[in-house]
Amino acid sequence: MARKVGLMSGKAFVAIALLLLVSMVSAIEIAATASVSADPAISKSFDVNAYLKKAAEKVLANSKALAEKAATQAGYTPEELKALEKKVEAGALPTQAAVESQKAEEEKALAKKQGQTQTQTPIQTPTESAKRVASSSREWRYNAGQAAVAVQNSDSNAASATMCLIYPPKSGVAAGEGRDYAAICGVDLGGGSYKPTQCPLSVSYSWGSDVGSITEYGVSPKGFGTAHFVAQTTPAAGSITADFGAFSCSAIIYAQAGPASSCSLAPESAIVLANGSQLFAAACADSYGNAVDCPLFEWGTDATDATVNPVYSNDSTLFTAGSGVQLDRRVWADHDSMSAHGFRCEASVTIAPQLDQAVTCTLAPANADVVASGTLGYAASCYNIKGNPAACPALGWATDVTEGWMEPFGGQATLHAGSAIEDGKTVLAAFRGGGIKFKCVASVDVVYPDARDCVLSPSAASVAPGGSQIFTAACHDAAGLDT
C-alpha cells in the first residue's frame, strides 16, 4: 500500500507542476488535498494551512523542468503528460472527491492483487490451539439451548468458512468419561490447502456422536467450534460430528473400557489332592463390568505348606498343595487393596488326600447282639476320596459297652462284652493323621446267651386235690452258666 500511496502523491505533484502554466493557486490546492487524502496521518499530525503554504512556496521555487522530471520519475509517459496538460489547460482538474475515489479504487485493486498472489498455506495445525481451547474455562461455551440465540451475535466474516476439521482426528475415551473437542473451520483453497477462519453459527449448528453424548457445545473466542463429549459405558468404535449447516466434519472416537476396578478367579473353588497343583486365572473388569486387562497382582494363600508361583503376575498363578489335607483354605490375587483404588479377589480350595489314601470307613456288622460276657468280631472297610476301596490305615477302636473292651488286629477288632445286659451301645473305629480324620460306628446290644438246658425246681412235688404248687425253671448256656 505504501508504494501505491507514493505513486498517487507523485502524480498529484505532477499536476501541481503543470498547473504553474495556467493556475498556480488551484494546482497547490489540488496537490495539498491529494497528499492529505493519501495519508490520513498527515491530516492528524500537521496543520493543513501551513502545509498548503509550504507546498505553494515549493512549487513557486521550481520550474517546469522540475515538474517534467517529477512526472517522468512518477511513471508518466510523454503522451500521458500531454493529455494531463491539456486537461489542466481546459480546467478539467480532478476535484477532491475524485482524488479520494481514485485512491479508494487503487487500494481495492492492491488488496485484490495481494489476495490473489498470497502464498497458499495449509491450515494451522490445530494441536496447540485446540489444546488451549480444551483446557480453558468453560465460560466461552454455549449450551444446546443457547446456541441458537448466539447466532444473532456471530461474526458475518465467518460465512466464508467452507470446511472444518475436528481435533483430535482420532481418539479414545474411557467408558463414562468426558473429553473436550475442537472444530477448526477454514476456506478450502484447493490442492489440499486451507485458510483458517472463524467457525460460523447457524440455527442448525450442532454436535453429535453415535458412541456417547454431547453435554455442551459452542464457539470459543478464537472462533473454534467446541464440544464436551461423554463416552457411553460399553466399548465401541464410532465418530463425533460437528455440523455447521453448510458443511460438517467428523472425527473417529473409540469408547474404551476404563481401568480395572475388580477381579474374579477361576475356578472359584477347587479340590486339590495333597502334593497336587491347580492353576488359578484372574479376570478383571472396569467399573461398568467391561472386561479389561488385569494389572500386576500379588498372589497368596493361607494353606499350610502350599505355594503359589509366580507370586507376581497379571493373570494367573499355579497353586501347589502340601502333603497335609486341609479344608476351607483360600487363594487370592491382590492389587494394592489397601489403597483407595486397589482391589482383591479370592477362591476357596480344599486339599484332599491322594487317591490311595482312605478318607472314610464302615463297620460290619453295622447292627448286632452280643451275649453278656461274650465276644463279637468287627471288620472295617475303608474308601478313598472318590468312594473307591482303599487300604485302611491303623484304626483306633473303642466301645461304650459296660465292662466291654476292644481287641484290634489290622482292620478288624473283637468286642469283649461285659456281664451287664444293655441295649443301644456302640463300637467305634477312627483315624486321624496327615490332615485326614474319619470314623465309623456300629450299634450293639448286650443280651442273654442262648439257653442249652434247664432245670425245674422243685424237681418233684405232691399236690393235694384242689391244691397248687409253684415250679421255677433255671436255664443254662453251653458253659453251664445261668441264662
| Statement to judge: residues 133 and 252 lie in one domain | yes
| Residue 466 reports pLDDT greater than 50 | yes
Q: What is the dihedral angle through the alpha carbons of 187, 189, 190, 193, rounded to the nearest 10 degrees?
A: -90
| Statement to judge: residues 141 and 252 lie in one domain | yes
Tell me what percent of the residues of the chain surpass a pLDDT of 90: 50
CA distance 206 to 200: 11
* CB-based contacts of 473, cutoff 8 Å, min separation 6: 454, 455, 456, 457
| Residue 79 reports pLDDT greater than 90 | no
| Residue 1 reports pLDDT greater than 50 | no
| Statement to judge: residues 370 and 430 lie in one domain | yes
**Structural domain tally of the chain?**
5
CA distance 378 to 442: 9
CA distance 328 to 349: 6
Average pLDDT over residues 67-96: 56
| Statement to judge: residues 380 and 344 lie in one domain | no
CATH number at residue 324: 2.60.40.3450
| Residue 150 reports pLDDT greater than 90 | no
Question: What is the model's pTM?
Answer: 0.51
* CB-based contacts of 39, cutoff 8 Å, min separation 6: 5, 9
| Statement to judge: residues 141 and 184 lie in one domain | yes
Among 392, 328, 385, 330, residue whose Cα is nearest residue 353 = 385
Domain limits for position 324: 262-352
Mean pLDDT score of the chain: 77
| Statement to judge: residues 238 and 291 lie in one domain | no
Question: Please, what's the largest Cα pairwise distance for the chain?
Answer: 204
* CB-based contacts of 402, cutoff 8 Å, min separation 6: 418, 420, 422, 425, 446
Number of Cβ within 10 Å of residue 367's Cβ equals 10
* CB-based contacts of 423, cutoff 8 Å, min separation 6: 445, 446
- In tens, the pLDDT along 27-50 reads 444 443 433 333 443 333 334 445
* CB-based contacts of 64, cutoff 8 Å, min separation 6: 17, 18, 20, 21
DSSP category for residue 482: B
Among 284, 278, 288, residue whose Cα is nearest residue 264 = 284
- Quote the cell numbers at residue 189: 483453497
> Where does a domain end: 86, 117, 148?
117
CATH number at residue 442: 2.60.40.10
- Quote the cell numbers at residue 117: 498472489
Tell me what percent of the residues of the chain surpass a pLDDT of 70: 65
For 349, how many CA atoms within 13 A lie in the half-sphere containing its CB? Answer: 32
| Statement to judge: residues 432 and 370 lie in one domain | yes
Q: How far is CA 357 from CA 254, 360, 433, in A?
A: 57, 9, 11
CA distance 116 to 465: 164
- Quote the cell numbers at residue 92: 478539467
Q: What is the dihedral angle through the alpha carbons of 74, 76, 77, 78, rounded to the nearest 10 degrees?
A: -110
- DSSP annotation string for 17-75: HHHTTT-HHHHHHHHHHHHHHH-HHHHHHS-HHHHHHHHHHHHHTS-HHHHHHHHHHTT
| Statement to judge: residues 401 and 440 lie in one domain | yes
Are 422 and 452 within 8 A, CB to CB? no
pLDDT the model gives residue 449: 80
